[in-house]
């Protein structure tokens, strides 16, 4: 039998299932305290996690910043006191004006100034990431060479990497930033660079967001670490990686930028300390780290900036003489110059422009004569203006050496060296006593070549000269070649070669020829012509065909009355062998007349003064020599004030027999050669040799006492 619980017992069971009010009042506070304790633990644990995470991020950012500095410093060219890349002064948002410190044109400084402590690096732009093997340097276009195989000797194209601190005006947080500053034409391959750089200019994020049209800014500055004040970014420079002595001037704000720049160029190593302070989860966080790093190539510190902050600096030209009355002017490339203008003058005359605004740094300038002064001035032209004048001057030497060939050489130091000159009156004079060291003379053999501007016009010229006691022949062609045709290898004199080259004067043909005379095979040989030079001298040249009869004083060709000499002249020359001709002043026979010569051709090359010349002085005669007299020229000399060329004239005789190597007359000081001159002359109708000594003596080296001509002999006075 089953027994049921009683009602009372049931009611007692039901009362045991809940809490009484008293019990609740006791338990509730305990529960609340437990929950609060639990929440406190959870919140504390979360704060620790957040702070720990922030601390780790801060440590990472500080170390990352130092790693970036380490990488950039190693491949940099130099430390700078201020940004070397030009910040455009035009108030435009499109040309890089936002790259200054305050997102404007404010320059950076490595110490002091608006940017406080900064690291400013000069870097060489590259075609790819500089850490990769495919990266190569980028060079400036046409400075001086065009882009291509020779561009690697051009100036490298550089840019600036700048590490700096700046405080955000809205948040008050100071951060460490990295900015890439580049010239406004950094990607212009038409005018500036040989290739587009891998690097790109950066600007602040605030500026780029406010100025979406500022297309020059290609990327944002890198914000490296927050919480870095200017005083917490500490930079020290050292001259050597092993040095412990700080380069104090490199970071001394009290000294000028130029002085700091010089100090920084000697620095190869930098020690950088970053102290960053932040707050996270109510906790103050602080991390400090330091790196010491050296530039890998300490020789690059003098690589210049890409573009100057002003007009290009003044070029520094130098000059060097070259063959002929010419000089070459060159100058080093100027940073920031896109082209150069070269001007010149001769002897202080009016300036002439050789070229204008061309990317050329070399030119050859021709003067009119030896002893001329060539003055040059060069300006550099860049996008920011034109430099001042860089000047250089040079005097063309009186004599320039002939480059002797085929074993021909100067005979000895007593006689004239093989040289040439062009006087201020435009007369080319060759001098030199030479001999062939390789054996006998060979007809038609080249001795030397005269440069352009020193060559005959109209055809080759034929000159009679002296060669080992006999008459010799030397030809000078329109290409400048001086060739031996007839002579002796023992010695050969070039002192009789004198002529007016082409280019300065207009020649007048001699005419009319008479008695069967005519030009010889023109234009293969120069026809008969004359020029009156600026010194007033008559210069005859040409090769003529001998007519018939070929007898004494037969008229050959007329000369204008104004060009006739005051007295009869005997001029040594050259035909098939020795020859000479006369210049007669007398009516009826005036002009060029025949004397003793061959039967085929006769050279008419000579230089003399017409009767209008009044600058003659009597020679001081010696050893019984005297004027021949009658219609013949008086023994005299004159020196041109234009070009210091001394010209002789006179027919001399002597009552007694002549003596070999005897002074006939003496020239005064100021009208003498520097070395012994050896010429050909005519005595009693035959070849003879005449020497002019440095002491002024005019010496007969042969001939007879009957008569001896010194007509038509000229030389450059040097003492």
Q: How far apart are CA 313 and CA 335, in angstroms?
A: 7
3 state DSSP class of 56: helix
Q: How far apart are CA 530 and CA 251, in angstroms?
A: 77
Q: How many CA atoms lie within 13 A of 181 on its CB side?
A: 32
Edge-to-edge strand list for the sheet holding 626-627:
620-621, 662-666, 697-700, 686-692, 677-683, 708-709, 651-653, 626-627
Peptide bond into 523 cis (omega under 30): yes
3 state DSSP class of 698: strand
Edge-to-edge strand list for the sheet holding 326-330:
318-322, 326-330, 362-366
The low-confidence residues of the chain, meaning pLDDT below 50, are 1-2, 9-10, 13, 87-96, 301-309
| Class for the domain spanning 318-395 | mainly beta
Q: How far is CA 447 from CA 442, 454, 475, in A?
A: 10, 15, 10
What pLDDT does 1 receive?
Answer: 46
Is the distance from CB of 456 to CB of 502 less than 8 angstroms? yes
Domain ranges for the chain: 56-300, 318-395, 400-499, 508-608, 617-716
Same fold, 400-499 and 617-716: yes
> What's the topology of domain 400-499?
Immunoglobulin-like (2.60.40)
3 state DSSP class of 207: helix
Count CB atoms within 10 A of the CB of residue 375: 18
Count CB atoms within 10 A of the CB of residue 617: 12
What pLDDT does 3 receive?
Answer: 52
Answering whether pTM is above 0.75, one says no
The radius of gyration of the chain from alpha carbons, rounded to an integer in Å, stands at 47
What pLDDT does 86 receive?
Answer: 56
Burial 292-311 (b: 16+ CB within 10 A, else e): ebbbeeeebbebbbbbbeeb
Q: How far apart are CA 204 and CA 104, in angstroms?
A: 11
Q: How far apart are CA 670 and CA 429, in angstroms?
A: 19
Helix (H) or strand (E) holding 65: helix 21-74
- Those residues whose C-beta lies under 8 Å from the C-beta of residue 567, and which sit 6 or more positions away, are 585, 631, 632, 633, 634, 649
Helix (H) or strand (E) holding 66: helix 21-74
Burial 222-246 (b: 16+ CB within 10 A, else e): bbbbbbbbbebbebbbbbeeeeeee
What pLDDT does 447 receive?
Answer: 95
What pLDDT does 305 receive?
Answer: 39
- Those residues whose C-beta lies under 8 Å from the C-beta of residue 283, and which sit 6 or more positions away, are 47, 51
Pull the structure tokens for residue 496.
């009789």
> What's the topology of domain 617-716?
Immunoglobulin-like (2.60.40)
């Amino acid at each position: 039998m089953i027994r049921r619980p009683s009602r009372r017992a049931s009611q007692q069971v039901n009362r045991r299932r809940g809490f009484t009010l008293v019990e609740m009042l006791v338990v509730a506070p305990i529960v609340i305290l437990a929950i609060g304790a639990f929440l406190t633990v959870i919140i504390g644990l979360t704060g620790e996690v957040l702070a720990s995470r922030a601390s780790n991020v801060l440590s990472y950012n500080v170390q990352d910043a130092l790693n970036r500095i380490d990488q950039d410093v190693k491949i940099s060219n130099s430390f700078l006191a201020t940004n070397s890349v030009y910040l455009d002064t035009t108030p435009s948002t499109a040309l890089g004006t936002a790259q200054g410190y305050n997102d404007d044109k404010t320059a950076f400084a490595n110490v002091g100034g608006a940017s406080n402590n900064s690291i400013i690096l000069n870097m060489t732009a590259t075609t790819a990431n500089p850490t990769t093997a495919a990266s190569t340097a980028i060079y400036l276009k046409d400075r001086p060479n065009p882009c291509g195989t020779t561009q690697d000797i051009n100036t490298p194209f550089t840019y600036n990497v700048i590490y700096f601190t700046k405080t955000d005006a809205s948040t008050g947080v100071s951060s460490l930033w990295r900015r890439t500053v580049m010239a406004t034409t950094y990607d212009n391959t038409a005018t500036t660079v040989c290739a587009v750089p891998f690097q790109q200019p950066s600007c602040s994020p605030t500026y780029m967001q406010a100025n979406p049209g500022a297309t020059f800014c290609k990327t944002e500055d890198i914000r490296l670490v927050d919480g870095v004040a200017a005083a917490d970014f500490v930079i020290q420079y050292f001259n050597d990686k092993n040095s412990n002595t700080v380069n104090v001037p490199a970071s001394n704000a009290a000294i000028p930028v130029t002085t700091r720049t010089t100090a920084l160029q000697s620095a190869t190593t930098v020690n950088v300390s970053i102290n960053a302070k932040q707050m996270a989860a109510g906790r103050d966080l602080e991390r400090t780290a330091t790196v010491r790093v050296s530039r890998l190539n300490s020789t690059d510190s003098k690589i210049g900036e890409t573009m100057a902050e002003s007009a290009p600096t003044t070029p520094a030209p130098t000059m060097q003489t070259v063959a002929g009355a010419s000089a070459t002017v060159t100058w080093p490339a100027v940073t920031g110059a896109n082209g150069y203008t070269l001007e010149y003058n001769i002897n202080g005359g009016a300036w002439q422009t050789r070229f204008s605004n061309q990317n050329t740094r070399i030119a050859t300038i021709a003067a009119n004569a030896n002893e001329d002064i060539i003055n040059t001035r060069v300006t550099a032209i860049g996008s920011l203006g034109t430099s001042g004048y860089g000047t250089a001057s040079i005097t063309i030497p009186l004599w320039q050496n002939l480059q002797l060939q085929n074993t021909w050489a100067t005979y000895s130091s007593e006689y004239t060296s093989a040289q040439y000159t062009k006087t201020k009156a435009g007369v080319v004079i060759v001098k030199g006593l030479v001999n062939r060291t390789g054996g006998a003379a060979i007809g038609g053999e080249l001795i030397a070549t005269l440069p352009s501007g020193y060559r005959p016009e109209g055809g080759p010229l034929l000159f009679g000269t002296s060669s080992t006691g006999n008459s010799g022949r030397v030809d000078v062609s329109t290409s400048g070649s001086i060739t031996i045709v007839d002579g002796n290898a023992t010695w050969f004199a070039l002192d009789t070669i004198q002529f007016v080259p082409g280019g300065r004067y207009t020649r007048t043909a001699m005419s009319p020829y008479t008695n069967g005379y005519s030009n010889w095979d023109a234009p293969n040989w120069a026809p008969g012509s004359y020029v009156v030079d600026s010194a007033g001298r008559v210069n005859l040249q040409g090769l003529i065909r001998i007519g018939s009869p070929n007898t004494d004083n037969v008229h050959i060709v007329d000369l204008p009355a104004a060009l006739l000499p005051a007295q009869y002249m005997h001029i040594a020359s050259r035909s098939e062998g020795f020859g000479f001709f006369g210049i007669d002043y007398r009516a009826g026979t005036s002009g060029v007349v025949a004397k003793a010569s061959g039967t085929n051709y006769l050279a008419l090359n000579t230089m003399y003064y017409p009767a209008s010349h009044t600058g003659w002085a009597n020679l001081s005669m010696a050893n019984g020599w005297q004027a021949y007299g009658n219609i013949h020229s008086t023994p005299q000399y004159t020196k041109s004030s234009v070009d210091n060329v001394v010209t002789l004239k006179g027919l001399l005789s002597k009552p007694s027999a002549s003596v070999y190597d005897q002074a006939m007359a003496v020239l005064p000081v100021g009208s003498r050669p520097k070395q012994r001159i050896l010429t050909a002359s005519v005595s009693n109708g035959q070849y003879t040799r005449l020497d002019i000594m440095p002491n002024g003596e005019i010496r007969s080296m042969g001939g007879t006492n009957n008569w001896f001509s010194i007509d038509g002999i000229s030389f450059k006075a040097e003492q």
